Structure 1
């Protein structure tokens, strides 16, 4: 058996299909419809989609993010907590990844391994 990039990409696409809804060639998502280039959505359907290394890392990071939140939820943390603050005529809104007592956690992924936190 020969393992090359196309085999690994095939595994990755199968894993994605389990985690995320992959659209058929006759479907388009609202996000894609609102994007600046509908052509990209078309070509992603008709050509074999191969995620870039950066896209793959983002997907992996998103999955790790979800798993950590589930662990924290099991330990009594509130996750995906909506927060907002008034800024004199404007309102800044967002979600904290996890909150417990007076501790707020926000998870971020990086593009490489840091030598120092």
Structure 2
């Protein structure tokens, strides 16, 4: 990876990080807004409220993990720029297209599939629904 390409990736990572931090965490609404109540009167509203809390919590967790991955990529660019863009497992170059979509990627697709085989499942093509 050339110094110019690394500079472009750094700008992209900084932009992504700024966007994530600007949106901020999702607000988790409490189930009880009035301390005198013992819960939501409507059971459906209670279930919906709990579901929205879980969704907001999962979104916040994913956002924090993504910011951490971006921070690690920026640190790698600053500390060992010659290693940026190389797979952590096989030391092969990560495809430029993959880095364009996920500039914080640390593994090539083959090594990523080995570490997270459940994400690929048994489906081999987009049109394979079995």
**TM-score > 0.5, shorter chain as reference:** no
**Greater helix share, structure number:** 2
Could you state the TM-score of these two structures normalised by the residue count of structure 1? 0.30
Q: Greater share of strand residues, 1 or 2?
A: 1
Structure label with greater radius of gyration: 2
